[in-house]
Structure 1
Amino acid sequence: MRIGIASQLLGTGLQRVLQNQPECEITWIAQNGLEAVQKCETDIPDILLIDPNLPILDGAETTRRIMKSSHSPILLVTDSVEGNAAKIFEAMGCGAVDAVDFAVNGSAEEREKSTQNLLKKIKTIMRLQQFSVRESKPSALVIDVKQANIPPLIVIGASAGGPKTLSAILSKLSAPCASAIVIIQHVDRDFSFGLTEWLNNQTSLTVQVARIHERPQAGHVYVAGTNDHLVLTASLRFAYTPEPRNMPYRPSVDVFFNSVAKYWPTPGQAIILTGMGRDGAEGLALLRQVGWHTIAQDEATSVVYGMPKAAKEIGAAVEVLPLDQIIRSIQQSVTKNTR
Structure 2
Amino acid sequence: MIGASTGGPQALTTILSQFPQDFPAAVIVVQHIDAQFVQSFAAWLNEQIPLPVQLAIAGASPQPGKILVAGTNHHLVMRPDLTLGYDKEPLNFSYRPSVDVFFRSVAKNWTGKGVGALLTGMGGDGAQGLKLLREAGWHTIAQDRKTCVVYGMPKVAVELKAAVEVLPVEAIASACISFTAKHLIK
State TM-score, norm by structure 1. 0.53
Q: Does 1:259 align with 2:108?
A: no
The one of 161, 170, 174 equivalent to 1:324 is 170
SS of the counterpart of 1:201?
Answer: helix
For 1:213, the aligned partner's letter is G
Task: Give matches, 1:184-223, under 5 Å.
Answer: 184-223=30-69
Q: Does 1:293 align with 2:143?
A: no
Cα deviation, residue 332, structure 1: 1.9
How far apart, CA to CA, are the structure 2 residues paired with 1:338 and 1:324?
23
SS of the counterpart of 2:3?
Answer: strand
- Paired position in structure 2 for 1:241: 87
> CA offsets per residue over residues 255-311 of structure 1, 9 Å max, x none?
000000010111210000000000000000111111011110110011100000000
For 1:249, the aligned partner's letter is Y
Cα deviation, residue 171, structure 1: 1.1
How far apart, CA to CA, are the structure 2 residues paired with 1:310 and 1:207?
29
- Residue correspondences, number: 185
> CA offsets per residue over residues 60-80 of structure 1, 9 Å max, x none?
xxxxxxxxxxxxxxxxxxxxx
For 2:103, the aligned partner's letter is F
Q: Does 1:278 align with 2:128?
A: no
How far apart, CA to CA, are the structure 2 residues paired with 1:158 and 1:222?
14
Cα deviation, residue 197, structure 1: 0.6
The one of 17, 20, 35 equivalent to 1:171 is 17
SS of the counterpart of 1:331?
Answer: helix
How far apart, CA to CA, are the structure 2 residues paired with 1:319 and 1:176?
25
Q: Does 1:305 align with 2:147?
A: no
> CA offsets per residue over residues 192-218 of structure 1, 9 Å max, x none?
111101111112211100011011011
**Bigger-Rg structure (1/2):** 1
Answer whether contact 1:177 1:335 (CA < 8 A) is retained. Answer: no
* Residues 1:334 and 1:292: Cα distance change in structure 2 (over 3 Å): closer
How far apart, CA to CA, are the structure 2 residues paired with 1:219 and 1:333?
15
Runs of 4+ aligned structure 1 residues displaced above 6 Å come to: none
Unaligned runs of 5+ in 2: none
Task: Give matches, 1:1-339, under 5 Å.
Answer: 155-336=1-182, 337-338=184-185
How far apart, CA to CA, are the structure 2 residues paired with 1:335 and 1:201?
26
SS of the counterpart of 1:234?
Answer: coil
Cα deviation, residue 223, structure 1: 0.3
Cα deviation, residue 338, structure 1: 4.8
SS of the counterpart of 2:48?
Answer: coil
Unaligned runs of 5+ in 1: 1-154
Answer whether contact 1:176 1:338 (CA < 8 A) is retained. Answer: no
Cα deviation, residue 328, structure 1: 1.5
Cα deviation, residue 243, structure 1: 0.2
Query: Looking at both structures, which has the greater relative contact order when contacts are Cα pairs under 8 Å and sequence separation is at least 6?
Result: 2
How far apart, CA to CA, are the structure 2 residues paired with 1:212 and 1:243?
15
Cα deviation, residue 335, structure 1: 4.2
How far apart, CA to CA, are the structure 2 residues paired with 1:253 and 1:198?
21
